[in-house]
Structure 1
Amino acid sequence: MKVYSFPPISNKNSKILILGTMPGITSLELNQYYGHPRNAFWKLLFEIFNEPFSTDYEIRKKMVLKNNVAIWDVLQACVREGSLDSAIEQEIPNDFTNFLNEHPNIDTIVFNGQKAAKFFQKYVKVSKTIQYVNLPSTSPANAGISFDKKLEEWRKFFN
């Protein structure tokens, strides 16, 4: 089945771009980045930015923008059955040239998992002026790493 990513959550003040690979089924159904309730993404960011946790998607989006963070996915579209990155085929990358030109303050790209980094490296010309950081995937499929360990790794970067 062909699936499509969402538009980015970003503004002109964004300095850090967090990239996933492609939204999973639950996220697509909810039309929300990291919509699966077991995905640690939002819980991690609220914790890191010392904000009271909320399940309200509008509050989540405002929180990341307030902290100069943008969210997007490496892929614009792909063929995939289920939610696993390992099932992705016929991928089409997002247009990072235009995105980065429109967001000149972005100086760091954070990959939410190794697969996002691999697809980015496959399709996007790397800029020497941007810092690239690989962090553990927040996906529930990355069950081999505890929430506390994910938080520790993500916090190291953001602090």
Structure 2
Amino acid sequence: MSEYITHAFPPIYDTESRILILGTMPSPKSRENGFYYGHPRNRFWKVLSEILSQPLPGTNEAKICFLRENHIALWDVLASCEIHRADDSSIRNPVPNDLTPILAAAPIRTIFTTGTKAAALYKRYCYPKTLLPATQLPSTSPANCALSYEQLRSAYAVVEEALRLSAWNPYFPRG
């Protein structure tokens, strides 16, 4: 049975953010833990910390510091929707988040989505307003057992590359 969920987490960003990573909607476990990618078996934080050669952040506060230190903005495509547990394929009546505040405050150069549904929702609801294409990354959810950890790590290497390129690109101010 589906329930109507309203997103409860604020976006994480600052004026130094260079990339934006968008999921779909926090899972029940993430909502219970009060932060993004909060399921203990979700591989998001482990993959990011490895590709950026950083220690794995353990607390929500450490995760916020990790994101800011690495110039990563984090939010979700949806502000609310009907969803059955964490099943993105069950999403109905989606209401997108307004990405304008992030894009106005930070020199976002690259947008990534985590998973097929986040990519499709971004393309349908956000792209017409932002006109910024998004690169789809695979889901780090424990439900995505089709990809090994090494395959996920390899796919997410583009995040490190985007951050590295944005640091020296003379066409964009460093902020």
Query: Normalising TM by the smaller chain, what interval?
Result: over 0.9
- The aligned runs of 1:17-28 (5 Å cut-off) are 17-28=20-31
Structure 2: which amino acid aligns with 1:135?
A: L
- Equivalence for 2:95: 92
- Equivalence for 2:13: 10
Distance 1:56 1:78 in 2: 27
Query: What is the root-mean-square deviation of aligned Cα atoms in Å?
Result: 1.4
- Equivalence for 1:143: 145
Structure 2: which amino acid aligns with 1:143?
A: C
Shift of 1:133: 1.3
- Equivalence for 1:34: 37
Deviates more, 1:45-54 or 1:18-27: 45-54
- Say whether 1:49 aligns with 2:49: no
Distance 1:86 1:55 in 2: 29
- Equivalence for 1:70: 73
- Where structure 2 has 5 or more consecutive residues not aligned to the other structure, the ranges are 162-175
- Equivalence for 1:152: 154
Distance 1:75 1:114 in 2: 14
- Say whether 1:109 aligns with 2:99: no
Shift of 1:151: 0.3
Secondary structure of 1:118 counterpart: helix
**Residues 89-123 of structure 1, C-alpha deviation per residue, up to 9 Å, x if partnerless?**
111000123431232x0011001111111001111
Secondary structure of 2:47 counterpart: helix
Secondary structure of 2:155 counterpart: helix
Q: Which runs of structure 1 show a deviation greater than 3 angstroms over 4 or more consecutive aligned residues? A: none
Contact kept, 8 Å, 2:17 with 2:71, in 1: the verdict is: yes
Distance 1:126 1:92 in 2: 14
